[in-house]
Amino acid sequence: MAGITKATPLDRVLGAAAKKLSKHRGLETVGDLLDFLPRRYVDARRMGELAEFSRGEHVVLVANVVSATTRPMRQRRGKMLEAVVEDGQGERVSLVFFSAYGHETRLRPGVRALCRGELQTYRQSWQLAHPDYVLLDDEDEGDVYRDGLVPLYKTVKQVSDLNLTKAMRLIFEQLDLGPDPVPQELREQHDLVTQAEAYRMLHLPADLAEVERARHRLRYDEALVVQTVLAQRRAKSRSEQSTPRLATPGGLLAAFDEQLPFVLTAGQKVVAEEIAADMAGEHPMHRLLQGEVGSGKTVVALRAMLAAIDSGAQAALLAPTEVLAQQHERSIRALLGSLGQRGMLGGDDRGTQVALLTGSMTKKQREKVLLDIVTGPVGIVVGTHALIEKNVMFADLGLVVVDEQHRFGVEQRDALRDKAIRAPHLLVMTATPIPRTVAMTTFGDMDTSTLSELPKGRQPIATHVVPALDRPAWLTRAWEKVAEEVAEGHQAYVVCPRIGDEPVDDPELTALERMWNAADSEGDEPEDEAPLRPMRGVLEVLDDLRQRPELRGLRVEMLHGRLPAEEKDAVMAAFTRGEIDVLVATTVIEVGVDVPNATVMVLMDADRFGISQLHQLRGRVGRGEGGGLCLLVTESENEASLDRLHRVAATTDGFALADLDLELRREGDVLGASQSGRRSQLRLLRLTHREDIALIEQARTDATDLVTKDASLMSWPGLEAMVGERLDETQAAFLERG
């Protein structure tokens, strides 16, 4: 056989086992198998300790056979074998086989075996029924583990760990991985083993130190791939030409600043300068603006738009939902006042026009707006995805602002950018605090600005957990509190995790459940959990609240994604005007809804929401001067869930919560749109581990150097190949978010 490469199909190397690996674990090539890393290692030279395990657990134990008895079975034909093994401390467990055949000649007193199986009790003694085992002193089998460490893999039906290690020995004899992805210079500089060595050290380790070195190397690989792609993207956007967009003295921006009813915070000023400097450049701005809800991003973005208009261009603001687009349009109009009504009665001649473009507009309305955009009187267009459509043309698009980035993909952003003559400047706003490591990976091709202080006068939100089962009186108190706030002229939100009428596979429901599941499944092999109690729905809660004595006389209405668009708008408008006291809603209110008079939020089944989402949601209250109150109602008795809620209640620091969120979830869930792929997106790299943060930073520097020297990567074929390979299968999904 010729040399084995990563692309070699497994069935050419392994025969029958290849089918099982394909069927049960989706492994098709040698490369797939190499990436199927052992989950842990057992030292075959050291006797095990049964005491480390409890009943029902999967046991991996090195033990000596002390007796073996074969006897006929009562109910069936054939003989059974019971072999008793003793661990390092003299504890015993029986290995039971209901067909002795084949085992009786092997499991003889005196031999040492590595046994695996589920620990059960039978007549008050420990038992493993039909365990897997390997004879460690056996010439053939024991030799497979001659170096002492036994790699343990995720279970693959009908393929034992022993089979896998044998397969690895075979593969490594002829493996040729081609040029190493990490250039030799960098390997030497960082004292990294080669990729081939790394794989060998993980699958056929001599000791645990090797395992560590190998993991370090592969983590670096993961970081380097991502950072190389990002460095390429940065280089590309830096090579693009853009038109500088500067505010003119005495122009629209200056007029706006003059009439602004407040002064910008120090943070807003710094960010405004960063943006102005970017937009003055020859290359397109590529900036991420992050800041808590209410930190004043919109004003900052609007000032950038006005600078663009001053320079003769137009600006587009892309919002993820219709409700949000409308709200942006309203608040931009309000901030601009007469400066937003140029050419109209009472309009200011230094001003411009603002237009809204959404999918639900009539054809006639759309056509009028489209014409105004292409001929030029409209300086600011606010819209949803409708903005991206082909028939939308601009006179001269100079700035694109994208709100709530995580809901748009790269293609959509690019589609909008393509409507400009030269690459427009791009400002992305996000209210979801992004941990630095995620920012470095997911948004690594952008410069970032952060608004970390809230404008003056803002009161922090107080959050409390209401355990509804334990303390029903607290829930009653919560509704009383809502009534008290309303009595003082304020309004309240009640948020539910679902609508309540959905068929089982409703996307809104399953998305939430997926999130919930992702947040709570830590182990690699999820165990079957008890079915969850159905979540509170808007419809049910609306009925309940309308009947509650505590809320008698209050105007309670609902809002959710499946109401007709006009009804949604009407409800939102009525709530904004203060004609609704209590709004029962799904997470449709999550982003951007801005009613400063709303001061209380009650979150039903709060344990069903993710940490970042809870934080995002509670940002909807306390936008006025009255401060805000958020009540997290839960019936959960799960300690981890309660702990999560208490931690959300304990801090309003969105960045701390984002880190916590990341800690509790798996990276794949944070970065990727879906986890459905057979591998998680980052296999070894942990965005929350301190040493990995350093590694990502190192890789970022290295990647930038490499790309500066040769952006095509042709000088490093190994790296080029790894980037191509990984980009296809694992990274594309999360780069899409950048």
- What angle, 0 to 180 degrees and rounded to 10, lies between the N-to-C axes of helices 161-174 and 195-203? 150
The tally of CA atoms less than 13 A away on the side-chain side of residue 248 is: 11
| Stretch near ligand ADP under the rule CB under 6 A, chosen from 94-102, 259-267, 625-633, 702-710 | 259-267
Q: Does residue number 264 form part of the binding site for ligand ADP (CB under 6 A)?
A: yes
- Distance (Å, rounded) from C-alpha 471 to C-alpha 314? 56
- Distance (Å, rounded) from C-alpha 342 to C-alpha 255? 13
- Considering only 38, 181, 205, 294, the residue that binds ligand ADP (CB under 6 A) is 294
String of contacts with Mg ion for each residue 397-436, x by CB under 5 A: ----------------------------------------
CB of 330 to ligand ADP, least distance (A): 11
- Give just the sign of the alpha carbon dihedral 576, 581, 586, 589: positive
Report the first-to-last Cα separation within the chain, whole angstroms: 44
CB of 348 to ligand ADP, least distance (A): 19
- Considering only 13, 201, 223, 293, the residue that binds ligand ADP (CB under 6 A) is 293
Q: How many residues bind ligand ADP (CB under 6 A)?
A: 14
CB 6 within 8 A of CB 173: no
Q: Does residue number 268 form part of the binding site for ligand ADP (CB under 6 A)?
A: yes
Q: How far is CA 18 from CA 145, 247, 602, 625, in A?
A: 21, 65, 54, 66
Q: Does residue number 127 form part of the binding site for Mg ion (CB under 5 A)?
A: no
CB of 233 to ligand ADP, least distance (A): 26
Q: What is the largest CA-CA distance in the chain?
A: 102
By C-beta, is 620 or 644 nearer to ligand ADP? Answer: 620
| Stretch near Mg ion under the rule CB under 5 A, chosen from 6-14, 29-37, 156-164, 294-302 | 294-302
CB of 628 to ligand ADP, least distance (A): 13
By C-beta, is 385 or 620 nearer to ligand ADP? Answer: 620
| Stretch near ligand ADP under the rule CB under 6 A, chosen from 99-107, 262-270, 547-555, 675-683 | 262-270
CB of 592 to Mg ion, least distance (A): 5
Report the Cα 671 to chain-centroid distance in Å. Answer: 4
- Considering only 298, 352, 616, 636, the residue that binds ligand ADP (CB under 6 A) is 298
- Distance (Å, rounded) from C-alpha 693 to C-alpha 661? 16
Q: What is the DSSP string of 268-316?
A: HHHHHHHHHHHHTSSS--EEEEEE-TTSSHHHHHHHHHHHHHHTT-EEE
Q: Does residue number 340 form part of the binding site for ligand ADP (CB under 6 A)?
A: no
Q: Does residue number 298 form part of the binding site for Mg ion (CB under 5 A)?
A: yes
CB of 263 to ligand ADP, least distance (A): 6
Can you read off the two tokens belonging to residue 183? 């250039």
Instruction: Label residues 690-728 b or e (16+ Cβ within 10 Å = b).
Output: eebbebbebbbebbbebbeeeeebeebebbbbbbebbee
Which residues make beta-bridge pairs with 121?
Answer: 126
By C-beta, is 24 or 407 nearer to ligand ADP? Answer: 407
By C-beta, is 33 or 304 nearer to ligand ADP? Answer: 304
- Give just the sign of the alpha carbon dihedral 335, 339, 342, 346: positive
Q: How far is CA 243 from CA 55, 267, 310, 470, 679, in A?
A: 70, 27, 13, 62, 43
Amino acid code (one letter) for 729? E
By C-beta, is 264 or 518 nearer to ligand ADP? Answer: 264
Contacts with ligand ADP in 439-498 (CB under 6 A)? 455
By C-beta, is 268 or 576 nearer to ligand ADP? Answer: 268
- Considering only 181, 296, 424, 672, the residue that binds ligand ADP (CB under 6 A) is 296
- Considering only 8, 29, 228, 265, the residue that binds ligand ADP (CB under 6 A) is 265
Q: What is the DSSP string of 425-477?
A: EEEEEE-S---HHHHHHHTTTSEEEEE-SPPTTPPPEEEEEEETTT-HHHHHH
SS3 527: coil
Neighbours of 12 (CB within 10 A): 13
- Distance (Å, rounded) from C-alpha 738 to C-alpha 734? 7
By C-beta, is 441 or 491 nearer to ligand ADP? Answer: 491
CB of 653 to ligand ADP, least distance (A): 16
- Considering only 152, 299, 723, 735, the residue that binds ligand ADP (CB under 6 A) is 299
CB of 408 to ligand ADP, least distance (A): 17
By C-beta, is 268 or 612 nearer to ligand ADP? Answer: 268
- Distance (Å, rounded) from C-alpha 498 to C-alpha 338? 41
CB of 320 to Mg ion, least distance (A): 12
| Stretch near ligand ADP under the rule CB under 6 A, chosen from 110-118, 289-297, 681-689, 715-723 | 289-297
Contacts with ligand ADP in 402-441 (CB under 6 A)? 431
- Considering only 297, 425, 666, 726, the residue that binds ligand ADP (CB under 6 A) is 297
Q: Does residue number 622 form part of the binding site for ligand ADP (CB under 6 A)?
A: no
By C-beta, is 271 or 719 nearer to ligand ADP? Answer: 271
| Stretch near Mg ion under the rule CB under 5 A, chosen from 29-37, 296-304, 373-381, 455-463 | 296-304
Task: Residue 480: name the closest of 433, 540, 545 by CA.
Answer: 545
- Distance (Å, rounded) from C-alpha 287 to C-alpha 284? 9
Tell me the pairing of strands 79-86 and 92-97.
Answer: antiparallel
376 binds, among Mg ion, ligand ADP, none (CB under 5 to 8 A by kind): none
By C-beta, is 376 or 455 nearer to Mg ion? Answer: 455
SS3 content of the chain, % helix, strand, coil (to 5): 45, 20, 40
Alpha helices for 337-409 (secondary structure H): 363-375
By C-beta, is 227 or 268 nearer to ligand ADP? Answer: 268
455 binds, among ligand ADP, Mg ion, none (CB under 5 to 8 A by kind): ligand ADP
| Stretch near ligand ADP under the rule CB under 6 A, chosen from 99-107, 296-304, 566-574, 712-720 | 296-304
Q: Does residue number 295 form part of the binding site for ligand ADP (CB under 6 A)?
A: yes
Instruction: Look at the chain and count its residues.
Output: 738
Residues at the contact surface with Mg ion, assessed by CB under 5 A: 298
Interface contacts to ligand ADP, rule CB under 6 A: 262, 264-265, 268, 291, 293-299, 431, 455
